[in-house]
């Protein structure tokens, strides 16, 4: 590996570098690619299995597209520029894997053309995650399933938008990744 990738830094190791990464992550959140925006619509607010994802999140020296801490899962959406930097992406994936994270990569075209297949693959990886709780208890932060209802927040509670509930499995968010749902 190149010296650039040796030793992943933390906030306390190199604060000025962290501040640069934080500002860059903010810029990337303000201007997502169409594929990132499409995937975020389906991952945000626990819409996929109740798992909490962050977008444009700093992990060590890197800004990852989507990250779920509870699962140790990183989801990357790659544009055309990644075709020319496969070796660099492989190094980055190896470093993230050495920290116990699983990395999934999808092309922009696949996310936009077959979003539900991408969501199924993310769900499968989440369910196979060794970090996932298997003792039958509810995951921390996950709401209990609500069956076939739409719950509305009162004004002043959060954003004032409605929270849809999926009819098929009662998952929060109104879209569990299956076609034909609202």
The confidence score (pLDDT) of residue 166 equals 45
12, pLDDT greater than 50: no
> Domains of the chain (ranges plus CATH)?
3-139 (3.40.960.10), 143-182 (no CATH)
Burial 150-180 (b: 16+ CB within 10 A, else e): eeeeeeeeeeeeebbbbbeeebbbbbbbeee
Per-residue pLDDT tens digits for 16-75: 888 999 999 999 999 999 999 999 999 999 999 899 999 999 988 899 999 998 899 999
Contact 92, 62 (CB under 8 A): yes
The residue among 68, 59, 122, 69 whose CA lies nearest residue 93 is: 59
Distance CA 14, CA 64 (A): 18
At 12, list the tokens. Answer: 């306390």
Q: Structure tokens of 63? A: 């800004």
- Please tell me the pTM assigned to this model: 0.67
pLDDT (tens digit, 9 = 90+) per residue, 100-120? 899 999 999 999 999 999 999
Examine the pLDDT at 133 and tell me if it is beyond 50: yes
Report the distance separating Cα 131 and Cα 134, nearest Å: 9
pLDDT of 134 above 60: no
CB burial of residue 50 (10 Å; 0-12, 13-18, 19+): buried
52-83: b (≥16 Cβ within 10 Å) or e: bbbbbbbbbbbbbbbbbebbbbbbbbbeeeee
């Amino acid at each position: 590996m190149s010296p650039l990738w040796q030793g992943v830094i933390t906030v306390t190791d190199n604060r000025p570098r962290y501040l640069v990464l934080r500002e860059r992550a903010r810029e990337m959140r303000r201007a997502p690619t169409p594929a990132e925006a499409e995937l975020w619509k389906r991952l945000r607010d626990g819409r996929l299995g109740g798992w909490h994802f962050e977008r444009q999140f700093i992990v060590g020296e890197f800004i990852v597209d989507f990250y779920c801490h509870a699962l140790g899962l990183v989801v990357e959406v790659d544009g055309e520029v990644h075709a020319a930097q496969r070796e660099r992406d492989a190094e980055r994936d190896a470093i993230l894997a050495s920290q116990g994270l699983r990395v999934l990569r999808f092309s922009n075209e696949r996310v936009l053309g077959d979003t539900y297949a991408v969501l199924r693959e993310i769900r499968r990886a989440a369910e196979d995650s060794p970090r996932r709780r298997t003792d039958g208890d509810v995951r921390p932060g996950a709401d209990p399933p609500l069956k076939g209802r739409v719950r509305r927040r009162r004004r002043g509670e959060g954003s004032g938008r409605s929270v849809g509930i999926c009819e098929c499995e009662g998952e929060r968010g109104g879209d569990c990744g299956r076609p034909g749902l609202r």
